[in-house]
Structure 1
Amino acid sequence: MIKLDRLTKIFAMRGANKVVVKDLTAVFPSGKSVALLGRNGAGKSTLLRLISGSLRPSSGRVLSTGTISYPVGFSGSFHPQLTGAQNTRFVARIYGVDTDELVDYVRDFAELGPHFYMPVRTYSSGMKSRLSFGVSMGIPFDTYLVDEVTSVGDGAFRAKSVAVFDDRRARAGAIVVTHSPPMVKRMCDMAVVLENGKVVFYDDIDAALEHHEENMQKPRPK
């Protein structure tokens, strides 16, 4: 279970304040795969980072009864001067898992070849995503945070990534950001629509997608 308790995040931008979420209280149930829907700029990735603890809220707090992954697809946690292997070992030590086992898993899964032993600063965005996804899937979290799993690699690699993610979801929950309605219907049990710093929960995936589509047709909030 993940509980957002009066969560607020405000960024100062060009002399004005941008409110991402304001006084948000919500509960993500254990063992459920939840789609996080919202237009570009609504704050989906920021909310994932707040839930993971990689970004501090302006006020409020995030409470959890289990372990939470960092947002897969967000590679900001990797040190650019370290190699993929060194970053993997560092993450393994942070989460208390066997370093050699995680390195072996990520090396095989991410398919980076010799680049796995090169500095992350030399990676393309796709290579960083492969490394991020591999590291996260190699650690047994209670809740996985995933930002656009379908954007990782080519078709064959995406299929492999989805298959691994399906296996993890059989034993854990997830919060998934994706712009693909078919992927939402395939991977998620319920959905949340984020708009103007507020969320609406839906047990009915179709109703959530309809709400999201209605928001997409409206002018962007200022």
Structure 2
Amino acid sequence: MIRFENVTKVYKTDGHRRTILEQASFTLKPGISYGILGINGAGKSTTMRLIAGTEEPTRGLVKRGLRVSWPLGFGGGFHPQMTGRDNVKFIARIYGEDPKRVLDFVEDFSELGSYLDVPIRTYSSGMNARLAFGMSMAIPFDCYLIDEVTSVGDGRFARRCEEVFSQRRKHADVIMISHSMEVIRAWCTQGIVLLNGRAIVYEDVNDAIEVYHRLNA
């Protein structure tokens, strides 16, 4: 279960105040996959970062009763001066996983070869994505977060990503952001609509999509 309790998130820049969430309270239940919907600027990615724990609320609490991933394929947590190999081992230890097992998986999955032994800062965006996706799949989570990314790389590698993630989804939930409502329908059964600082959970994802379309009309 993931629970938002009176969560307020405010950004202050150059004297401007922007409120993303204002005293939002809602519960995301295990066994259900959710789509996060809202017009541009509503705070979808911010809400996902709050769920992931990569950002903290300005006020209120986010409680997690399950193991939540970082956004799928997100490589922002890598240290650019460290090698890919050292990043993988470091992250594995943080999550209490066997570094050798995780490294063996990522090494095979990413197909980066000798590039695993050079600093991340030298990677192309494609190499970074391969490492990040491999890392995401190497550690088992109860809930995977997806922000517009479901596969990376060329066609063959993209198919491998889809195959492995399909296996993970048999035992895990998904919380996702996508501008494609067909993707939301295919992956999610319930929806969260962000509007004016509020987060409204709809038990039928089609109801959430209908509201989203009205907001964008």
| Structure 1 match to 2:140 | 140
| Structure 2 match to 1:155 | 155
SS for the counterpart of 1:70 is strand
Contact residue 166 and residue 187 of structure 1 kept, 8 A:
no
**Residue 27 (structure 1) shift:** 0.5
Provide the identity percentage. 44
| Structure 2 match to 1:58 | 58
| Structure 2 match to 1:165 | 165
Deviates more, 1:126-135 or 1:99-108: 126-135
* TM-score, normalised with respect to structure 1: 0.89
Q: Distance in 2 between matches of 1:20 and 1:164?
A: 34
Contact residue 106 and residue 138 of structure 2 kept, 8 A:
yes
| Structure 1 match to 2:192 | 192
Aligned residues: 217
1:1-222 correspondence runs (5 A): 1-150=1-150, 152-217=152-217
Q: Distance in 1 between matches of 2:7 and 2:169?
A: 26
* TM-score, normalised with respect to structure 2: 0.91
Q: Distance in 2 between matches of 1:41 and 1:110?
A: 33
**Residue 61 (structure 1) shift:** 0.8
SS for the counterpart of 2:89 is helix
Pair 1:21–1:50, CA change in 2 (3 A): same
Q: Distance in 2 between matches of 1:58 and 1:84?
A: 33
Q: Distance in 1 between matches of 2:38 and 2:159?
A: 24
| Structure 2 match to 1:220 | none
Deviates more, 1:200-209 or 1:46-55: 200-209
RMSD of aligned Cα (Å): 1.8
Contact residue 106 and residue 131 of structure 1 kept, 8 A:
yes
Contact residue 35 and residue 191 of structure 1 kept, 8 A:
yes
**Amino acid paired to 2:101:** E
